[in-house]
Every structure is written in structure tokens, then in C-alpha cells.
Amino acid sequence: MKKSKEFTENIIKTEYSEVMQRSYIDYAMSVIISRALPDARDGLKPVQRRVLYDMHELGIKFDKPYRKSARIVGDTMGKYHPHGDSSIYEALVVMSQDFKKGVPLVDGHGNFGNIEGDGAAAMRYTEARLQEITQSAFLSDLDKDVVDFIPNFDETEKEPSVLPVKFPNLLVNGSDGIAVGMATSIPPHNLGEVIEATKAYMNNEDISNAQLLRYVKGPDFPTGGIVTNKDELKEIYETGQGKIKVRGKVEIEPQKGGKTNVVISEIPYPMIGANISKFLSDIASLAESKKTQDIVDITNQSSKEGIRIVIELRKDADVDNFVNMLYKKTRLEDTFGVNMLAIANGKPEIMSLKQIIAHNVEFQFEVTRRKYTTLLEKETEKKEIQEGLIKACNVIDLVIEILRGSKDRAMAKACLVEGVVDGIKFKSKESKIMASQLKFTEKQANAILEMRLYKLIGLELEALINEHEDTLANIFKYEDILDRRDSMAMVIINELDDLKNRFAKKRKTVIDNVEEAVFVENQIEEMDVVFLMDRFGYAKTIDVPTLERNYESAIAEYRYIVNCKNTGKICIFTNTGDMHTVKVMDLPFGKFKDKGVPIDNVSNFNTEKEYVVSCESQSRLNLFKLIFVTKKSMMKVVDGGEFDVTRRTISATKLLDDDEVISVSALTDQKQIVLKTKDGYFIRFGIEEIPDKKKTAVGVRGMKLGLKDDVESAFYLTTSAEPVVTIDEKPFDLYRVKLSRRDGKGTKIRL
């Protein structure tokens, strides 16, 4: 009992909601800080930082042979990033792709994917090494204690918390990532422009975002293109959020015979990958749907040299209007959503252009301070040893006498440091007196004891004195850098200039204000057509004279025949109570013998779950009401205007459980309705007994059904139509059914 009581007393009682909230917040912050968002200082996500550092540790430098990507991925995963090899390899691949990154950080050898969306080869086939700029600007000073090192996941290794990047990489290479409840999307920029903006900020920290835009013109996408909303960039870079409109570059090439080729040589950055094939299929769809009849041929001639998509136009085509159509109807003009979110001071923050530069500059001062503090310590230590050696050379005979007269190293060192002469044999009293006055430091004494005899050569001594003078000059220089912010700023600016001279490239993206594309659609001549759909769900349209010539064949072959306009829509009612709309223009128009297209190809119709109950022209629905009948005998009349909608699919009626629609008919001159059940019961009553309802209503019961019995068919009696119908391949006169009231049991009739 005592043991049980102690156990009970150790139970911590807490609210389940509090535990869940705390756990979710911990998880969210882990994803935000340790996975998805870049650091504002080096512009890298943790996985990118770890891959680069691991390559640095493995010695895979730009002037060394390539190493297998699998080796890099495995080493990174085992030491620093235990989150699966696919995420590590993906980070390695992206950092090598010059069509995604403004400045690639990895030099990939092999198939690392392409701009059209083809993925990289497996990591066992590809090789990689660091780019020269990565070594120079990201990893060069890690041995100088410029950043803090933290334990890895199992505390067996140390890794840098941030890389000492020498320029605002967050701007140059951009970033994208989705965290928990937030996402980042930063476009890439031109390295030279960003460096100039950084220098401008360092010279005047009160500079505004608008003034910085004199240096950073806007994003510089690796794919080129044209930014069309230049005037909006000021607000975007001020707030860190907004939408950048970017177009592809189009060139017009005249051809023989009056034809013209529209050549797309640069694409919008968001089109990278599978969106190129989507763009090509969208152009083909424009031709198939007759939005344009100017296209003769489309060829994708893109290669490693760049993008080249050629659209051959017919003679006398309106080229300007066609290009505007591409901007309006395809992704040749697209939007890049900007959300400049990054980790700053340990927390996510949306930053302006100036704030990003400011964070990096402050980081540069911190890195430079730590670098030159380390260098100063080394030079000061070197100076101490050099002074000791020079002093020792001046009294070298005495030093040799001390070494020869000492019994061991400790005795000699004690004499050099503290002047202890006990036990040492000297040649003269003068030597003993001079030895007792020696006051070398510990480090100097060790250096003297380890000094080789060749150092006594005259040239070596002269070199030592020259080296000492260089050391004194370095100490003066380093102290000046550490004491004066202006001197430190000049060092940073010189490094930035060096990086610009070595690695900056010309801008690819044009920044301009461009008027919105205006596309004038060719007006389609409205005409009467006939919609045909067979029992297999294949649909097409033909003209009215063709139907008149083949009327009997059409009646025999097609289940639904609907007169409509070529500019209208067809409404398809299904057993599930849904209504799908199809644009008539989306259906093939042609000959009577043409097969047509499956109706599910041009609508949301699901052939596995539903079947067609009725088809009507949407324009005709506005003129009539519709009668709905379900297998559970629920009925209603709905105004056709409720189905004049723009959505492709809506719920046409509400159904009870295990119920489905069996009939939808336009209410014209029907006087009475006859319902037949699968058990052979019939009921006939007047149409006026069916109430008007909304499409969201279930309706009223038409007849009482027996156990497991369902309504199978609905027939209508009119003043003009023949009352005889065919049931089970036998003629049946509907007037055989006794006229009664709605909601009766009906009469069982043998056919």
C-alpha cells in the first residue's frame, strides 16, 4: 500500500488541452526554426547549411575531384541531419540548379534535373563538389572562431549554428518554404546589385528602401523574363509582401510565305518544371477549343543552351493579339507571391529590403570582429615568441652555456624563465650572473628550447627580424580594425568588392512598367446546333440540317438529342441528384458518323458513381419548370431559373438516404403523371398535385411503396401525345391506370 500511495502522489494532473497546445507549439517552432525557414544572416535553411558544411569537412573543394552525392548525403545524415536522405539530396540538387538559384552553391556533375521538370538522377549516379564562391564567401573563415559551434543531434559532433556568409545570400538566392501556419517566398536578386545596396547601407544606415531600390532594381530571376509592375516594387520591398507580375520574353521571327513564328526564349520563374509542359498543353487547348485558329504548329526546341518554344502561325495572323492571348490565357504571364519571412534573432519575422540587408551587415560586423580578434591573438602570441627568439639570438652564447650546463630540460627552462642558476655549470661567474638575470616568458622559453641550430644562420636571423616587423604591422592593423568601426567597414566593403569583381554577372530580368495585355477574342458566330449523346456517354454536336437528314438513325443510336446554341451550355442531370454543365464549344462539332468525346472528359461527371437521367439546354431551362421524381417516390417541381449557374457542378436536388433520381423532365403541356414500381404497381394523378419547391428541398411523396419496392419509371400524359407507351417490350395504354390522388398505394396491373 505504501508503494502504491507514493506512486499516486507522483501523478501530475493537467488539462489535456494544455498538453496538446504545448506539444503543438513545440512542434510548430521546431518546424519553423529547424526545417522550413532560412536564417536572415546566411540565408540558408538548416539542411542546406549542413550539406555545405559537410562538403567542407570532407574537403570536396572546387579545385578537387567530384565525390559521389550518396557519400555526401550519407555523411550529412549520419552526422548532422537525421531526417531522411531524400530531403538532403533534394537540398543538394536545388543548390546546384542554375535555373533556380541566382548563384548556385554546389557544382553538380551528372543529371541534376532540368528546367522542364525532369528530376535528378539517383544520388548513387551523380557527383558534386563546392562552387568557388561557396568556399570564398561561405566557408573560408570557419577556422577563425567567427561563428558559434553547437552540438549535433547526438552530441558526438559540432556544427556551425550559422555560416559566415559575406553577402546577403537571402536576397541573392532567395528562398521558399512552408512551415506550420506560415510560409516564405523570397525571389532571387542580382549579386552585383545586392552588394552595391549593402555598401550603400553601410555608408548611410539611414538610407530608405526607396533609395536602396536605386541599387537593387528588383528581382533577377535565373530564367530572365520581364517584371511588368515596376511601380509596385517600392511597396513590396517596404512591407516584405506583395505580388510581382512577370512575363516570358517573346520574339517575333518572320518566315517565308508571309507566315510568322512566335518564339518564347525566356519564361516566367514560376513556370519552372512541369508548368512548361502545362503551358504547351494550354496552347494546344486554345487551338482545340477554337479560341484561336492562328496556330499551325508548336515545337519545343529547348536545350541546355536555353529555352526556345516555337509557335508557327498561319499567314496574316494578328501576331500582337495572339501574344496578348498567351499572356491572358496561359502562364506566359504569371505572378510571384512575395513573403520575405526569415528567422531573425531567433524568431520568424517578415522583413523589408532594408531590414534584410541590415541583419546581414550587423552579422558581417560580428563575424569580422571575431575574425580579427582571433587573428590578433595569434599575432600577439607570435610576437611574444619572435621577441624571445631575437633576444635569445643576442645572447646565444649564454643560452648555449645554460643548455650545456643543465642536467635536464626543466633546469634549463627554470633558468631561462626565472633566472634559477642552482645546479647549472657555468664557465665563469659573469655568465652565472647574466643567467640569473634572464626573464623569458614560458612560451619564449619553450620556443628557445625547441629552436634548431640553423636558425642561427645570418639570413635566418634577418628573416626572423623581418617577420617580427610584419607581425607588428599586422597587430597595428588588426587593433585599428577592432578599435574603429570605419576601418572594419572598409574591410567588409573591400571583401564585397572582391566578390563582385569575381562572381557578379549581368542582370537577366528586365524591370519595367508594362500595360496589361488586352486580348480581343474572335467573336464566334452564333448558330443552332444539336447535342447528341449515346448510351456509352460519348457526346458531340452537329448542325440542324445534318440531324434532319439522319433523323431516324439519330433516334435509334442516341439516347439524348437536345437542340441548343453553339455558344450555350448543356445541363446533365444524374441519378445522384447532381447537375453538371458542359460548354457546347468544348464538344467536338462535326459529321454525324464522328464518335465524339466521353462526357466525363469535358465535365465533372463520374462514370463509376453516376449515370445520366436527363439532358437539357441551359437556355431552355429558364423558360420552364422541371419535375423531379426519385425511386423512393419523392417528387417536386422546381423553377428552371435555379439552374442558371456558372459552376460546373451543383446539387440539383436533396435526396433521402439510399434514394436516387429516376426522372427529370421539363414541365410543358403535361396534364397527368403515371408512376410504375418494379413490383408492378401503377398510380396516375394530376400534375397540379405536385407542389413547387426549391432545389434544396426533398419534395413530397408521390405514392406509398411496399417493402423493398421502388419507383422504376415515370410517364406523362398530354393532350397531344399518344398515351400508349412501351413497357417490357409490350405496348401499354396509360389510361388503363385508374385516375386517383397523389400518395395512394396504386394498383397492381399485369402487362
CATH of the domain at 461: 1.10.268.10
Any domain includes 270: yes
> Which band of pLDDT confidence, cut at 50, 70 and 90, is reported for residue 722?
confident
The pLDDT score that the predictor gives to residue 1 is 45
* Mean predicted confidence (pLDDT) in 200-213: 95
pLDDT at 520: 67
CA–CA dist 147, 443 (Å, integer): 28
Instruction: Give per-residue pLDDT as tens, 106-127.
Output: 999 999 998 988 889 999 999 9
What pLDDT, in 10s, does the model give residues 536-551?
999 999 999 999 999 9
Shared domain for 448 and 577, answered yes or no, is no
Half-sphere exposure of 537 (CA within 13 A, CB side): 17
Please report the pLDDT score of residue 116 as a whole number: 86
212: in domain: no
pLDDT confidence of residue 287: 82
Q: Say whether both 548 and 677 belong to one domain.
A: yes
Task: Name the pLDDT band for 456 (thresholds 50, 70, 90).
Answer: low
Among candidate residues 316, 331, 346, the one where a domain is terminated: 331
Q: Is residue 25 pLDDT above 70, yes or no?
A: no
**Is residue 445 classed exposed, middle or buried when 0-12, 13-18 and 19+ CB atoms within 10 A define those classes?**
buried
Whether the CB-CB separation of 115 and 94 falls below 8 Å is answered with no
Does residue 379 belong to any structural domain of this protein?
yes
Residues 733 and 626 reside in one and the same domain: yes
The amino acid at 748? K
Mean pLDDT computed over 240-265: 91
Q: What is the mean pLDDT of residues 335-363?
A: 93
CATH number at residue 569: 2.120.10.90
Grid cell locating 293: 485558329
Same domain, 545 and 451: no
Q: At what angle do helices 191-203 and 353-394 cross, to 10 degrees?
A: 80
pLDDT in tens, 280-298: 888 888 887 777 888 889 9
Please list, in sequence order, all residues whose beta carbon lies within 8 angstroms of the beta carbon of residue 627, skipping any fewer than 6 positions away: 635, 636, 637, 663, 664, 665, 666, 667, 670, 673, 687, 690, 714
Instruction: Count CB-CB contacts under 10 A for residue 541.
Output: 22
Contact 183, 177 (CB under 8 A): yes
CA 10 – CA 21 distance, rounded (Å):
23
User: Which grid coordinates belong to 100?
Assistant: 533556380
Residues 412/402, Cβ–Cβ less than 8 Å: yes
Number of domains in the chain: 4
Instruction: Looking at the structure, tell me whether residues 601 and 467 fall in a common domain.
Output: no
Please indicate, yes or no, whether residues 73 and 146 belong to a single structural domain of this protein: yes
In a domain, 110, yes or no: yes
The 10 Å Cβ neighbour count of residue 368 is: 21
Torsion over CA: 225, 228, 230, 232 (sign): negative
Amino acid at 104: P
Q: Would you say residue 39 lies in a domain? A: no
Element holding 271 (H helix, E strand) = none
Alpha-helical runs (H) found in 558-596: none
- What does the alpha-carbon distance between residue 237 and residue 224 come to, in Å, rounded to a whole number? 20
Cβ atoms 325, 519 nearer than 8 A? yes
Question: In this structure, what CATH number is given to the domain that contains residue 65?
Answer: 3.90.199.10
Which of 112, 142, 164 is where one domain is finished?
A: 164
Q: Which of 645, 663, 737 lies closest to 699 in space, CA to CA?
A: 663
> Order of strands across the sheet with 260-266?
249-254, 260-266, 309-313, 295-300
Same domain, residue pair 664 and 572: yes
Tell whether 453 is covered by a domain: yes
Residue 418 has pLDDT above 90, yes or no: no
Over residues 690-700, the mean pLDDT reads 94
Catalytic residue from among 24, 27, 125, 551: 125
pLDDT at residue 179 tops 50: yes
Reported as type and span, the H/E element at residue 164 is none
CA distances from 410 to 222, 294, 414 (A): 66, 97, 6
**Which pairing describes strands 578-583 and 649-651: parallel, antiparallel, or unpaired?**
antiparallel
Mean pLDDT lowest among 182-196, 438-452, 630-644, 647-661: 438-452
Phi-psi region of 295 (alpha: psi -120 to 50; beta: other; left: phi over 0): beta
pLDDT band at 2 (very low <50, low <70, confident <90, very high): very low
| DSSP state for residue 610 in the 8-state scheme | -
Of 458 and 332, the structure prediction assigns the larger pLDDT to 332
466 and 584 together in one domain: no
Specify if 370 maps to a domain: no
Residue 389 within a domain:
yes
Does pLDDT of 3 surpass 80?
no
Query: Which of 64-68, 116-120, 161-165 shows the lowest per-residue confidence on average (mean pLDDT)?
Result: 116-120
Q: Where are the beta strands (DSSP E) in 492-568?
A: 510-511, 528-534, 538-543, 558-565
Domain finish residue from 305, 331, 357: 331
37's enclosing H/E stretch is none
Spatial separation of the C-alpha atoms in residues 112 and 92, rounded to whole Å: 9
What is the C-alpha to C-alpha distance for residues 242 and 236, in angstroms, rounded to an integer?
5
pLDDT > 70 in the chain, percent: 94
Looking at the chain, the whole-number percentage of residues with pLDDT higher than 90 is 62
What does pLDDT average to over the chain?
A: 89
SS3 337: strand
How confident is the model at residue 447, as a pLDDT?
85
Residue 412 has pLDDT above 90, yes or no: no
Residue 729 pLDDT level (bands cut at 50, 70, 90): confident
Q: Please report the pLDDT score of residue 30 as a whole number.
A: 58
The yes-or-no verdict on residue 694 having pLDDT over 60 is yes
- DSSP strand pairing (226-227 vs 510-511): parallel
User: The domain containing residue 292 runs over which residues?
Assistant: 249-331
DSSP bridge partners of 339: 185, 241
Q: Report which residue type is found at 129.
A: R
Q: 450-459, 461-470, 474-483: which has the highest mean pLDDT?
A: 474-483
Residue 354 contacts residue 212 (beta carbons within 8 Å): yes
Query: Is 125 tagged catalytic?
Result: yes
For the chain, helix, strand, coil in percent to 5 are: 40, 25, 35
Grid coordinates given for 194: 545586392
Residue 556 and residue 441 share a domain: no
pLDDT of residue 347: 87
Q: What is the pLDDT of residue 626?
A: 94
Average pLDDT over residues 452-457: 69
The predicted structure's pLDDT at residue 23: 64
Q: Which helix (H) or strand (E) holds 431?
A: helix 429-435
d(CA 614, CA 603): 15
Instruction: Answer yes or no: do 683 and 592 share one domain.
Output: yes
Based on the fold, state whether residues 597 and 732 are members of the same structural domain: yes
Q: What is the mean pLDDT of residues 158-164?
A: 95
β 612-617/670-677 pair status: unpaired
Q: For residues 243 and 596, what is the distance between their CA atoms, to the nearest angstrom?
A: 42
User: Does residue 719 share a domain with residue 576?
Assistant: yes
For residues 168-180, give the mean pLDDT.
Answer: 89
